[in-house]
Amino acid sequence: MSARWVNRGLDALTWLVLLAMLAPILWLIASSLQTDGQLSRGTYNLLEPTFTAFSRMWQTVDFERYLLNSLIICTIAALCATAFASTAGYALARFHFRGAKPLSLAVVGTQLIPGSLFLLPLFMGFIWLKQNTPVALFDTHLGMILVYTAFFTPVAIYFMRYFFAAIPRDLEEAAMVDGCTRFGAFVRIVLPAAAPGLLATFVYAFLFAWDELLFVAALTQENAETIPIGIRNFIGNYQERTAQLMAAGVVSTLPVLIAFFATQRWLVKGLTAGAVKG
Amino acid sequence: MAQTTLQSPPEAGSARALPTRAGRPRRRRTLFAYWLIAPAVAFMVLVHLVPTAGGVLLSFKRLNTFTFARLFDAPWAGLENYRSILFDTANPLRDGFFGAVQNTAVYTFWTVSGTLAGGLAIALLLNRQMRGIRLIRTLMLTPWIVPSFVVAVLWQFMWQSDVGIVNKVLVDYTHLLSERPIWLLGENSMWAIIIPSVWRGLPFAMIFFLAGLQAMPPELHEAAAIDGAGPFRRFRYITLPLLRPLIAVQLLFGVIYAAYQFAIPYIMLGSNPGPDADLMMTLIYRQSFSNNLFGFGAAASVLLMAAMCVWVAIWYRAFKRDLEVT
């Protein structure tokens, strides 16, 4: 009898914890549906939502440009990182070669470098290229794509290797017996079999690129600025337009939220790969 | 982690990894592998390795507003940057540096311990059967998806002293406090960045621990229960030891990521979060890009990375035996 009540209590506690975790997000949505004046006076009326903040925020800062830049840069960078990580992850999962172990260590080692240490030379390198060559990387989409591709490739390698290791070797061997080249077997047999893993890796890289602030703050000026910079400009110049700021927060969260929930089954598998191994 | 997750997956180590196709020399296989890793390696060398070496180099240079135009040709300063940060008591930057070191340590300690303890508690709660548990597990992940700059903006609004929801709840609705605390300035500002960081980190720790809990063989718990061990003893002597490798991995990366936190304090508290909440990264970024003290920034970055290398060494000694288990 008492075990049942303990269970009921734990069920209720679970729902309460969920509510507590979601409360700030609900608050973000609720306050984006108020007016700036209501929020600055603290006179919320949650029963009368309005979408004015969502229509006005696009004029307050050039949010469309930031959103577009974020979409372009993060999509291409995540695609490139996934592509490079899939080949490297495949090599690590399947082949024995000299340098495999140092490469694995380097993959984790990159996480140990503080961004500020290599940001500065990168910044100076971009400026130098701008001054001395026609290569335009400072404040361009290309520059940010290169940086983000490199950034998220290491973690993506770790992801992809896990997914490739789960694919039976017989598949490619059969294809090669049938006359496929090694690369042909990889592209035609292994990659399609790893499609969920590819998708999860792409979304993971995309999520992280979307969140990146330090590098985009230093390496762009106007042309290639992404959403985090838009938000910073918002706070810097229009802090009192709180409802619009919250609306901008909702709009910047939606793309990643959709991407995440569409792929969360595979994403969670990749994320927890290290937890259930062995 | 260095050992557990980086070891090649089991089948790669087996005899089947040797050439299977008759007549193919092994060298061609190896060459193919090198082609496969080439793009990733090229990017890592160009964006990680070379600039990091450049950063270490710059930490020995006198690079400021006056010499910036010379870029990498700036005059040598030897160990001057390091000396002035660590030993020059007349240098105001030294106080700022040690203040940021202390703040970063406090921030990292509370963020990591709060995230791990809370994540484990929620994972235990979710590792039960109940109606709607799959939905709950999925929804519980949402805070982790909210970008950290949105987290910072949202909590900045929630922390507002007069109209923020936190004070409304604490003071107006529940009367837990009689005076409205100021969260975004002074000594509370450290908590203003720790709490949202923990909130955002919890789901990840939770999902990681939950995966570990679900991979645990139930027989162990059943056997212990038959032997008369209560839930707390079972947690202490079965669950916790089996989760040690997971705790190890999360500690390693949790500390590194927390020590390198930038977006939350920078967006919430501005480019100068004040002496109570200035972290290493906000200090380095501000001194480098607002005050053009690039030499200082590079040297402080090198010191920060050195501290993290020490942490990895300590971590490795502490968890060495757990790495072999997984």
Contacts of A144 (CB under 8 A, 6+ apart): A73, A77, A215, A216, A219, A220, A224, A226
Helices (H), chain A: 2-32, 36-41, 52-60, 63-94, 100-109, 115-132, 141-165, 170-177, 182-185, 191-193, 195-211, 214-219, 227-238, 242-271, 273-276
Best of B6, B72, B150, B311 to disrupt the A interface (most A CBs within 10 Å) is B150
What number is the average pLDDT over the span A241-249?
Answer: 90
Q: How far apart are CA A86 and CA A92, in angstroms?
A: 10
pTM, two decimal places: 0.89
Residue B4 has pLDDT above 80, yes or no: no
A71-85 tens-digit pLDDT:
999 999 999 999 999
Question: Angle B144-B149-B153 (CA atoms, 0-180°, nearest 5)?
Answer: 105
User: ipTM score of the complex?
Assistant: 0.91
B294/B93 Cα distance (integer angstroms): 13
Three-class SS of residue B61?
strand
The string of pLDDT tens digits covering residues B186-234 is: 889 999 999 999 999 999 999 999 988 988 888 888 888 888 888 888 8
Alpha-carbon gap, residue A202 to A191, rounded angstroms: 14
Query: What's the rounded Cα separation, in Å, for the pair A246 and A35?
Result: 10
Q: Does A120 touch chain B (CB under 8 A)?
A: yes
Say if residue A278's pLDDT is above 70: no
Contact between chains at B312 and A112 (C-beta distance less than 8 A): yes
A29 touching B (Cβ < 8 Å):
no
Q: Answer whether residue A254 shows pLDDT above 90.
A: yes
Q: What CA–CA distance (Å, rounded) separates B152 from B159?
A: 10
Q: How far apart are the first and last CA of chain B?
A: 10
Nearest CA-CA partner of B40 in A81, A59, A217, A242 = A81
How far does the CA of residue B33 sit from the closest CA of chain A (Å)? 5
Interface contact A24-B285, CB threshold 8 A: no
Q: Are B167 and B180 in contact (CB under 8 A)?
A: yes
Secondary structure letter of residue A222 according to DSSP: S
B148 vs A contacts (CB less than 8 Å): 211, 213
A63 contacts A225 by C-beta, under 8 angstroms: no
Per-window interface: B 281-300 vs A, CB < 8 A = 281, 284-285, 288-289, 294, 297-298, 300
User: Of how many residues is chain A composed?
Assistant: 278
Contact (Cβ atoms closer than 8 angstroms) between residue B177 and residue B170 = yes
SS3 B120: helix
For residue range B113-122, list pLDDT tens digits in order.
999 999 999 9
How many residues would you count in chain B?
326
Cβ neighbors of B220 (< 8 A, separation 6 or more) are: B238, B242
CA distance A87 to chain B (A): 5
Nearest residue of chain B to residue A84 (CA atoms): B40
The pLDDT tens digits of the residues spanning A144-183 come to 999 999 989 998 998 888 888 888 888 888 888 888 888 8
Share of chain A above pLDDT 70, in %: 97
> For A36-40, A107-111, B126-130, B286-290, which range has the lowest pLDDT when averaged over its residues?
A36-40
B185-209: burial string, b at 16+ Cβ within 10 Å, e else = eeeebbbbbbbbbbbbbbbbbbbbb
Residue of chain B whose Cα is closest to the Cα of A258: B145
Percent of chain B past pLDDT 70, that is, above it, reads: 88
Which chain A positions have a beta carbon within 8 Å of B56's beta carbon? 117
What mean pLDDT comes out for the span B59-88? 76
pLDDT digits (tens, 9 = 90+) for A122-152: 888 888 888 888 888 888 999 999 999 998 9
With a CB cutoff of 8 Å and minimum separation 6, the contacts of B73 are: none
Question: Is A95–B32 a contact, with Cβ atoms under 8 angstroms apart?
Answer: yes
First to last CA, chain A: 39
Q: Is the pLDDT of residue B88 over 60?
A: yes
Looking up tokens 């337009």 gives: A241
Closest Cβ opposite residue B302 in set A117, A150, A173: A117
A chain contacts of residue B297, beta-carbon cutoff 8 Å = 116, 120
DSSP string across A109-137: HGGGS-HHHHHHHHHHHHHHHHHHSS---
A262 touches chain B (CB under 8 A): no
Instruction: Quote the Cα angle for A30-A31-A37, to 5°.
Output: 140
pLDDT of A62 strictly over 90: no
Count Cβ neighbours within 10 Å for each residue of B114-128 and write b for 16 or more, e otherwise. Answer: bbbebbbebbbbbbe
User: Does B12 contact A39 at a Cβ distance shorter than 8 Å?
Assistant: no
Q: What average pLDDT does this structure show over B296-325? A: 88
